[in-house]
A = this chain, B = another copy of it.
């Protein structure tokens, strides 16, 4: 049986001003490293299902193999997140030309970390920004208006750098990481203090989105879309407030709700409980 690609997490659901602790279903982000003939080839971030098929398909697309006959042996070590691929001898040269870096699930960047411990000690968020659910909802409304291109083409993601109740900068891109890079670049270019800022995105919040915001010193990240288990873990540990599914008058707060002016509830299992 193929393993699951989803899991349950605790969150605070905010709906029309009322907060309720809930259990929410999120997807796993699974770092998966391929070793070819004993040498590290690439780390993908994927869903932990049909991994053998993915290895074959990827090696084929990358022109490492021309078919199954080029693979002498493939073993997937599911719990360690790695695959060992032995190619036929004559292919040894081909893979040498194609060493790769880490690739993430959405517009991969090379600076991915998968050791949460490293992160925490490295750069916890010090931001003391606070924001109310109402402001986030209003921002998301304005954001949706600015995202006209997204609606007309269905082809881009948007990201906005916000402060208090205003959007400072709005960027669209076919890649959600690119849109976030544009916001971070705007922050740098204009020497804006990150402490009072937060980020709103239309795209899924992966661990890499959290990483990029962390480096930029952003304390609150909210999205209209989902988040992943790994993004929640990292945000929790670095002290970032992660919010998903901001839609109409509701949203789910996954981590560090202390920056969101909520009434009553705290998430199950959180430090604040």
Residues on A facing B (Cβ under 8 Å): 5-6, 25-29, 44-47, 49-50, 52-58, 60-63, 67-68, 98, 100-101, 103-111, 149, 152-156, 169, 171-175, 178, 180-189, 191, 204, 206, 211-212, 215-216, 225-228, 245
Contacts and interface: CB of A to CB of B under 8 A. Distances in A.
Contact of A204 (B45, B155, B178): B155
Given A100-B110, A185-B55, A174 B27 contact: yes
B174 A228 contact: yes
Given A44-B178, A154-B245, A181-B61, A173 B108 contact: no
This chain's copy number in the assembly: 2
Contacts of A104: 107-108, 175
Contacts of A101: 100-101
A125 to B, nearest CB: 15
Residue among A63, A104, A149, A188 having the largest count of chain B Cβ atoms under 10 Å: A188
Contact of A6 (B52, B149, B184, B225): B149
Nearest to A191: B68
12 contacts: A27-B149, A27-B155, A27-B174, A45-B174, A46-B178, A53-B183, A57-B216, A63-B215, A103-B109, A153-B226, A154-B225, A174-B204
A169 B226 CA distance: 25
B171 A228 contact: no
A28 to B, nearest CB: 8
Nearest to A51: B182
Given A108-B103, A174-B46, A184 B60 contact: yes
Contacts of A173: 5, 46-47, 49, 54, 105
B185 A53 contact: yes
Nearest to A65: B188
Nearest to A46: B178
Contacts of A55: 185
